[in-house]
Structure 1
Amino acid sequence: MRRGVVAIMLTVMLMLSGCLGSGSDEIELFGFEYRDPPEAPGFNLTNQHGEPVSLPDFEGKVVVVAFVYTHCPDVCPVISSNLAWVDANLGDYSEEVILLSVTIDPARDTVSLLANWTETRGYDWDHLTGNHTELELMWEAWHVGVDDEHIENNTSSEEAGNESEDGPHDYTLGHSIVTFILDKDTRKRVAYSGTDWNIEEFLHDIQALADE
């Protein structure tokens, strides 16, 4: 395992141990609850339709935020599949819940690529992208570790007009695997780490926060 990935995993473990706890006794939640739910950092990104998206747009709704990328060979497809199941099973909660997938690979996950990728898979929730600087600021603010050396190198090559004749570089990215659920006040209330969480419990937490 690469040292960068190990460092990311340690960062996430420390973040979870330091910020998360048993949470409120008022409702039962299955995920890791924040002891003192912090307000989620804002962002201004672009969805797969080329439309601007910012966090204040969703005040008053429960918001799920996942960090993925389309070329991911393993964990991201699981997260996206879980979100697709949740999206299909929201029922009466569909108007109260927003799903967001934020890329960690802006060099390849352009608006046009995300548009084709989501249409092919039937994913109708917002998939967000932006320039490297915008996204890096968001990753840092949300404490999401990304081993982005390949992104920087690829972006620099494209800006200089030095892209390989074979097309975009083929690479994978190490990143922390955390999916957040925000309450109606856009506070971080629950986090799910990894990919082996129970999707029915995840859906329960979304519904419980929507009922508050």
Structure 2
Amino acid sequence: MLKRILVLLVLAFALASCGQDQQELQLHGTDITQSKLKGEFSLMDHEGRQRQLGDFKGKVVVVVFGYTHCPDVCPTMLLSMAGAMKLLGDKAQDVQVLFVTVDPGRDTQDVLAQYVPFFDSRFIGLYGTEKQVQQVAKNYRVAYKKQYVEGGGYTVDHSAGVYVLDREGYVRAYLRHDETPAQLAEDITHFF
């Protein structure tokens, strides 16, 4: 009889918890856990190594999309992320910031190797073929498009913000590009 009551209690608890959403995180950014974005990628890093998301399992991963010729948002975002890493102190060793270029035509391995570590030596720049970059952008629902300018050349309009993945590789948050280093650090700590 006691065994039957325990089984019924376990079933009742399981049914009661089914269908309940996880408690929404209190972030400066946006909790996108329910979006079920696929964070997978297979790209080259700025040191010439093939990288996949699984390489960073066990770390909180922060993915920034941008390009090295960006005049404002991208360098500002990377500076803010560098500031957040400093604020995280020892916890920063459990965070990996990845900068994925949306301009693979200009952002070669050498360009990324000079640009990305300038902000923080732990940051990794990622690039690939146009098709590979398009697939990664699609996985994260990132929009980008070349805008040709008068007199030659181009800029790249793109989604501005960063994605935070938990230690298991699930995309959990979207942080705005205008968050302060303190706000970024605070949001990231939710995923340790």
The TM-score, its normalising length taken from structure 1, stands at 0.72
Deviation (angstroms), 1:30: 2.5
In structure 1, the residue matched to 2:92 is 94
**1:173 corresponds to 2:156:** yes
Partner deviation per Cα, 1:144-185 (whole Å, 9 max, x = no partner): 0011476xxxxxxxxxxxxxxxxxx62111111121111112
**1:203 corresponds to 2:190:** no
Structure 2: 5+ residue stretches without partners: 1-20
**Contact 2:28–2:179, Cα closer than 8 Å, also in 1:** no
Aligned length: 168
**Contact 1:182–1:188, Cα closer than 8 Å, also in 2:** yes
Deviation (angstroms), 1:83: 1.4
Greater Cα offset, 128-137 or 26-35: 26-35
The whole-number CA distance in structure 2 between the counterparts of 1:143 and 1:58 is 21
In structure 1, the residue matched to 2:166 is 183
- Secondary structure of the corresponding residue to residue 173 of structure 1: strand
Deviation (angstroms), 1:41: 2.9
The whole-number CA distance in structure 2 between the counterparts of 1:26 and 1:141 is 23
Out of 37, 41, 44, the residue aligned to residue 43 of structure 1 is: 41
The whole-number CA distance in structure 1 between the counterparts of 2:37 and 2:142 is 16
CA RMSD between the two structures: 2.0
Q: Residues 148 and 198 (structure 1 numbering): CA distance in 2 closer, same or farther, change over 3 Å?
A: same
Where does structure 1 differ by over 6 angstroms across 4 or more consecutive aligned residues? none
**1:133 corresponds to 2:131:** yes
**Contact 2:63–2:98, Cα closer than 8 Å, also in 1:** yes
Out of 63, 78, 81, the residue aligned to residue 79 of structure 2 is: 81
- Secondary structure of the corresponding residue to residue 101 of structure 1: strand
In structure 2, the residue matched to 1:19 is none
Larger Rg belongs to: 2
The TM-score, its normalising length taken from structure 2, stands at 0.79
Structure 1: 5+ residue stretches without partners: 1-22, 151-168
The whole-number CA distance in structure 2 between the counterparts of 1:172 and 1:142 is 21
Deviation (angstroms), 1:127: 0.8
